[in-house]
Amino acid sequence: MSNKIQEKNITFIDGQNLHLGTSSEKWKIDFKKFRVYLKDKFKEMKLIFFYDL
């Protein structure tokens, strides 16, 4: 039996701030690629995206 501790990463994204920050710079985000990037770079296991209307 292994005694290694498995890290669990959860990413929380504030969609409104992301939208406001990128739109003011005229950027467009490819959310599929962004998701893959987060998963590969940070070994993220769960993504929670929230957007307040």
Domain that residue 47 falls in: 29-53
Looking at the domain assignment, is residue 48 inside a domain?
A: yes
Do the beta carbons of residue 29 and residue 22 sit within 8 Å?
A: yes
Looking at the domain assignment, is residue 42 inside a domain?
A: yes
Looking at the domain assignment, is residue 4 inside a domain?
A: no
Rounded-to-10 torsion of CA 36, 40, 43, 47: -10
Q: What is the pLDDT along the chain (53 residues), one digit of tens a residue?
A: 567 777 788 889 999 999 889 988 888 889 899 889 988 888 877 889 998 77
Looking at the domain assignment, is residue 12 inside a domain?
A: no
Give pLDDT, residue 1: 56
Give the span between the Cα atoms of 19 and 17, in whole angstroms: 5
Give pLDDT, residue 26: 86
Looking at the domain assignment, is residue 36 inside a domain?
A: yes
Domains identified in the chain, total number = 1
Rounded to the nearest 5 degrees, what angle is found at the Cα of 51, between the Cα atoms of 21 and 44? Answer: 85
Looking at the domain assignment, is residue 47 inside a domain?
A: yes
Give pLDDT, residue 52: 79
